[in-house]
């Protein structure tokens, strides 16, 4: 029987690095002159896997988003892992925004990825396994082609290729 090769397609994020990035953003917020006397804050809610941003106005909210994105990128994390919610009015005229930190491939996105892999007509099999996708084939060349094709798919979540064997 021919040997079967495979790899796993996952979307994982290191929450310790997210915590470090948020802490760096908080330090930058405390030292920036344009935020002196402001009620603006950033906090990481570890249990909910969310980041809460509170800002005085729209401009400060955009600045806080930029600070957060910069710190996340500096930690070699993908900005695609951040899903910004709609800003809402909070107490004393401030704006509050919830940022969800995505981890794992959602079911509907996994189905789209599997459909895209099947469209290639490559001799590979893709199977959804929880929050990851396993792609297998008898040929390593077919798997390499599948990886190249998956990297070209415009998808708004960070993807990593693991367990290549």
What pLDDT, on a 0 to 100 scale, did the predictor assign at position 66? 94
Helix (H/G/I), strand (E/B), else coil: 1? coil
Q: Are residues 24 and 84 in the same domain?
A: yes
Supply the range of the domain harboring residue 60: 15-101
Q: Are residues 51 and 77 in the same domain?
A: yes
CATH code for position 121: 3.30.70.860
Number of separate domains in the chain: 2
For the cut 80, the answer to whether the pLDDT of residue 43 exceeds it is yes
**How do residues 110-162 score in pLDDT, each as one tens digit?**
888 888 888 888 888 888 888 888 989 888 888 888 888 888 888 888 888 88
Confidence of residue 73 (pLDDT cuts 50, 70, 90): very high
What pLDDT, on a 0 to 100 scale, did the predictor assign at position 97? 92
Cα(141)–Cα(147) distance, rounded to whole angstroms?
10
What pLDDT, on a 0 to 100 scale, did the predictor assign at position 99? 92
**Cβ neighbours for 33, distance < 8 A, ≥ 6 positions apart:** none
Cα(125)–Cα(135) distance, rounded to whole angstroms?
6
Q: Are residues 91 and 23 in the same domain?
A: yes
Report CA torsion sign: 106, 107, 108, 113.
positive
Q: Are residues 28 and 97 in the same domain?
A: yes
What pLDDT, on a 0 to 100 scale, did the predictor assign at position 68? 93
Tell which of 83, 101, 119 closes a domain.
101
**How do residues 77-98 score in pLDDT, each as one tens digit?**
989 889 999 999 888 888 999 9
- Contact (CB, 8 A) for 126 and 97: no
- Contact (CB, 8 A) for 67 and 28: yes
């Amino acid at each position: 029987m021919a040997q079967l090769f495979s790899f796993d397609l996952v979307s994982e994020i290191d929450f310790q690095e997210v915590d470090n990035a948020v802490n760096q953003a908080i330090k930058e917020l405390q030292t920036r002159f344009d935020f002196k006397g402001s009620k603006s804050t950033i906090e990481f809610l570890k249990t909910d896997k969310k980041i809460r941003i509170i800002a005085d106005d729209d401009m400060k909210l955009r600045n806080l988003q930029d600070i957060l994105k910069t710190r996340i990128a500096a930690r070699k994390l993908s900005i695609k892992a951040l899903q910004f919610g709609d800003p809402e009015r909070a107490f004393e005229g401030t704006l509050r925004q919830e940022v969800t930190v995505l981890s794992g491939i959602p079911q509907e996105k996994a189905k789209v990825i599997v459909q895209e892999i099947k469209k290639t007509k490559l001799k590979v099999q893709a199977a959804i396994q929880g929050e990851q996708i396993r792609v297998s084939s008898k040929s390593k060349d077919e798997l390499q082609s599948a990886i190249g094709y998956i990297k070209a798919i415009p998808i708004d979540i960070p993807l990593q290729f693991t367990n290549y064997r």
